[in-house]
Amino acid sequence: MSVFTIEAGLAILGLALLLVEAFKPDISRRTLGLTAIAGTVLALVLFILAPHDTASLPGFIQPWHQLDGLAIFYKGFALVITILVLWLTLECAPYLTRFTLDGKLAEMFSLPLIVCAGMMWMASARDLVTVFVALELVTISFYVLVAFARKSAFSLEAGVKYLILGALSTGVLVYGIAWIYGATGTMSFDGIAKALANPATSKTAALFGSAVLLCGLGFKVAAAPFHMWVPDVYQGAPTPVTAFLSVGSKAAGFVVLTRALDAFMSAGSIIGSEIQALLLVIGALTALLGSLPAMFQTSVKRLLAYSSISHAGYLLLALACRESARFDLSSGGVVAFYLATYLPMTVLGFLGLGIMRANGLGEDLKDFTGLAKRNPLLALLMTLSFASLAGLPLTAGFLGKLFVFLGLADHGCWGALTCAVIAAATGFYYYFKTVLAMYTTEGTDVPALSLSTATKAVAGALALAIVILGVYPKPLQGVLKADKAAVVAK
């Protein structure tokens, strides 16, 4: 069974679930959710078993899809985050249903599957057309998902903002694609790389096109100054959707960005150094603009949104540092590694938020007060998540940052490194502000908060992933190492 079949199957499963819900409206959301999860888990298993080379894909898809290390990693990544988001939806269901149409959640289980398929296609795209259609599939699905809790004013507002700004960025993206195409005469990444290596190519047009294109993609990954939507949308969207946006959509954006930059910054590219400088500027700016405003946040969900921006900054900086002989990982590999570490910690954070909402608490800092008393385990897990987000050593978050910093230092990008360090330092402040709140005991009487065994298991697994990735990253690095050879060979 080829990987493509699995992806298509996933999309079909999504549609099937919709149909089932349409014709059998009284089906319980638990059944739907668990079916979706089971389907995705099955897809994951099949995906792992399936052959992992481009030749195994159906012939008609081969010109557009590739199955390199990066693609395989991100496809797996997309499946995992989808499973977690579906689980998170189930966790959040008790309060989400208050805001949805007729108290139903069917689309919350089916659309993620389609989004997942879209992200998997993005991961292996070889040209801008494929990127565009897969990206739009994901984006439009997200328009729906963000506004899904439509009876909540926040969700609706987030939907509107995401819609307008998203559409604006789509316009920018297409305009960028147009100019890239104009400058290079092709839309495939390989072709672009080849054309850019040709000195006859118009440099101004190529620069203009790539700049505009990067602006469009920058919006998707929340790069400054295209990040303004992130806090509002993340805060307003239903928590599972926020997690999905924050991890899945961002990862998908980054895989496209990686591929585009591989083309723009390939050896001998006429615009390589300008693009690198741009990435450094944008990355540093993003890291700072993500961190600095977060200091005053009282909403933890919004705080996580800012954190997500700031992490995007580090990732952009990682992309700015091209391959060095001294690392096993290509810059794409570093990004992938970072995202892999980013996944468990972010999802765990949002899972915590969801659990709290489901237990009648809010998402504000003051709701976190005394969490350690309500449920020590949850407090411990959340601590772990925040410590990792802050980049505390021995957690997953540190290694990703370390690789980024190492890369920057190796390339002598001291200015960007300084900004990144300042951003990270600020990060310590706001993450630990939250942690502190959790352990604060004075104040209100705090009713206990209980977790189901399944929740404990999922949260525990995520926490374990954080620790394991933090202290034993060798296997993950091994997976990603293969990619570098491919990049170098190219």
Partner 1 sequence: MPPLLFYLLALITLGFGFMVVTGRNPVTCALSLAASFVGLAALFLSLDAYFIGVIQILVYAGAVMVLFLFIIMLLDIKTEEGKKVNFPAIVSGVFLAVLLALQVVMVSGGTDLAGKSAQTAPLALAEASAKMGKAALPTITKDLKAGELPDAKLIGFTLFDQYGFHLQVIGLLLLVGTIGVVVLSKRERSTAP
Partner 2 sequence: MITLGHYLVVSGMLFALGLAGVIARRNIIIVYMCLEMMLSAANLALVGFSRFHLVNGLPDYTAQSLVFFTITVAAAEVAVGLAIIVALFRSKQSVDVESVTKLQG
Partner 3 sequence: MNASIPLLLPFFSALVILLGHRQLKGAAVLISVGSSIISFIACLALLAAADDKTNNQLLLPFIDVGHFHANIDVLIDKQSRGMMFIVSFIGMLVHIFSLGYMKDDEARPRFFGSLSLFMFSMTGIVLAGNLLMMFIFWELVGLSSYLLIGHWYQKASAAEACKKAFLTNRIGDFGFMIGILLLFGANNGNVNLFDLETAFKHGGPLALGSPGYNASFTTAAALCIFLGAVGKSAQFPLHVWLPDAMEGPTPVSALIHAATMVAAGVYMLVRVSFLIEASPLAAEIIAGIGCGTALLAALMATQQNDIKRVLAYSTLSQLGYMVMAVGAVAMAAKNGHDGAHAAEPGHPAMFHLYTHAFFKAMLFLGSGAVIYACHHEQDIWKMGGLRKHMPVTFWTFSIGTAALMGVPFLSGFWSKEAVLGVAFDSGCKVLFLMGAATAALTAFYMTRLLIVAFFGKPRTESAHHATEAPMVMILPLAILAIFSVISGYDVLATPLQAMKPPHVEGHQTVLVASLLALIVGVGSAIFLYRGKDKDPISIKLFANKFYFDEIYAVIVRVCQDRLAWIVTALERVFVDGLIARLPTAIVARIGAATRMLQGGHMQGYTFLLGGGVIGVVYLVVYVLPRLGH
What residues make contact with partner 2 under the rule CB under 8 A? 128-129, 132-133, 136, 140, 143-144, 147, 150-151, 153-154, 156-161, 163-164, 167-168, 170-172, 174-175, 177-179, 181-182, 185, 187, 231-233, 235-236, 293, 296-297, 302
107 binds partner 3 (CB under 8 A): no
Tokens representing 123? 């991961």
Helix (H) or strand (E) holding 112: helix 106-123
Rounded to the nearest whole angstrom, what is the least distance from the CB of residue 125 to partner 3 in the complex? 23
Q: Which residue, 18 or 340, is less far from partner 1 as judged by CB? A: 18
Q: Please state, in angstroms and rounded to a whole number, the distance separating the CA atoms of residues 249 and 135.
A: 9
Candidate list 52, 161, 411, 481; residue touching partner 3; CB under 8 A? 161
Candidate list 25, 103, 182, 225; residue touching partner 3; CB under 8 A? 225
| Cβ atoms within 10 Å, residue 475 | 10
Candidate list 136, 157, 274, 328; residue touching partner 1; CB under 8 A? 136
Q: Which residue has the tokens 């990693």?
A: 73
Q: DSSP per residue over 196-221, as a string?
A: HHSTTS-HHHHHHHHHHHHHHHHHHH
Rounded to the nearest whole angstrom, what is the least distance from the CB of residue 366 to partner 2 in the complex? 16
Q: Is 70 helix (H, G, I), strand (E, B) or coil?
A: helix
Candidate list 9, 33, 112, 118; residue touching partner 1; CB under 8 A? 118
HSE (side-chain half, CA atoms, 13 Å) at 78: 31
From the list partner 3, partner 2, partner 1, none, which binds 279 (C-beta under 5 to 8 Å, kind-based)? Answer: none
From the list partner 3, partner 1, partner 2, none, which binds 171 (C-beta under 5 to 8 Å, kind-based)? Answer: partner 2
Q: Which residue, 66 or 331, is less far from partner 3 as judged by CB? A: 331
> Quick one: which of 154, 112, 344 has its CA closest to 238?
154
Rounded to the nearest whole angstrom, what is the least distance from the CB of residue 445 to partner 3 in the complex? 33
114 binds partner 1 (CB under 8 A): yes
Q: Are 297 and 335 contacting, i.e. CB atoms less than 8 angstroms apart? A: no
Q: Are 234 and 302 contacting, i.e. CB atoms less than 8 angstroms apart? A: yes
Q: Which residue, 12 or 156, is less far from partner 2 as judged by CB? A: 156
143 binds partner 1 (CB under 8 A): yes
Q: Please state, in angstroms and rounded to a whole number, the distance separating the CA atoms of residues 309 and 321.
A: 19
> Quick one: which of 419, 428, 344, 416 has its CA closest to 391?
428
Q: Which residue, 219 or 342, is less far from partner 3 as judged by CB? A: 219
Q: Are 443 and 325 contacting, i.e. CB atoms less than 8 angstroms apart? A: no
- CB neighbour class for 330 (10 Å; exposed up to 12, middle 13-18, buried from 19): buried
Backbone angles phi, psi at 364, to 5 degrees: -90, 165
Q: Which stretch binds partner 1 (CB under 8 A): 99-107, 273-281, 288-296, 336-344?
A: 99-107
Q: Are 352 and 288 contacting, i.e. CB atoms less than 8 angstroms apart? A: no
464 binds partner 1 (CB under 8 A): no
Q: Is 225 helix (H, G, I), strand (E, B) or coil?
A: coil
229 binds partner 3 (CB under 8 A): yes
Q: Which residue, 198 or 273, is less far from partner 2 as judged by CB? A: 198
Alpha helices in 359-413 (DSSP H): 365-368, 371-374, 376-390, 396-410
* Binding residues for partner 1 (CB under 8 A): 11, 15, 18, 25-26, 60-61, 63-64, 101-103, 107, 111, 114, 117-118, 121, 129-130, 133-134, 136-137, 140-141, 143-144, 147-148, 150, 159, 182-183, 202, 204-205, 208
Binding-site ranges for partner 3 (CB under 8 A): 160-161, 164-165, 168-169, 172, 203-204, 207-208, 210-212, 214-215, 218-219, 224-226, 228-229, 231-232, 273-278, 281-282, 288-289, 292-296, 422, 426
